[in-house]
Structure 1
Amino acid sequence: MPPEKSYSKTSVEERLLASIDMIDVSQACALLRIETDDPEAIMHAMARGDTIITLTRNGRAMLPLFQFDTVNGRIFDVVGTILKLRPARFSNLRLAYWLTRAHVDFGGPPTDRFGKDDAAILAAFRRYIEPVHHG
């Protein structure tokens, strides 16, 4: 008998997405003070340029709020650097997971240290993505 279709992947993904404060593309443009008639195109272009992290929730492009410096209306610089370092095998979802989970170096998630401890975040991320060598 073939195995039943597993829904655990979807539920894990949904739980992760539900645990992250997110905004839609229009809210992101407003936060960044970008005036446009096509906020989705702007955010997709920024995502293609490794400037911003986007996730899909219920078929809509959503952006994790942690990557925005809401006081100054910008994206934290460390986000772009992490996106450029990220291996191709890492999805945005996996990246968001790593960024939002407690890390021993920070006593909490790396996102809590954005703009304050960027060098340490980058060092921790480089260690995380380093390939495992046995032998």
Structure 2
Amino acid sequence: MSSGSPAGSTSSSTSGVGGSTGSGNEIPPTFATVQFVIQSASCFGAGCHNDEMNPLDLQLNEELHTRLTTHISKNCGDLPIVNPGKPDESAFIKILKGPCGTTPRMPIECVNDGDAKCVPNEYIDAIAQWIADGATE
């Protein structure tokens, strides 16, 4: 992911999507972290999730939270993208960790854990915790 970190993070360094975030769970489980990951992983800027071919518009605007919590992934077992309170039943977590149904692991350039384009596990864990906590805005 790009340099920087979400508000409230005590991470000492992030470089590339697979950058080091220090030790322990330092990434806050907040919607700001979700926004940071979407922006840093170029989920919407590469033409993947911001056009008519892909109905999940991941642009960072006031409607993002609603889209994440109401959109159903037809290609990932008809799971909601974010199922508040249920990270194990949320397509967002499944596709950040690996393929889900016909949806490949995301971001698309991420193939194996530790690849430079993969979202670091600390961020995935924080997003999973945010979902478990109710996925509030």
TM-score bin, normalised by smaller chain: under 0.3
TM-score between the two structures when normalised by the length of structure 2: 0.27
Higher relative strand content: 1
- Report the structure number with the largest CA radius of gyration: 1
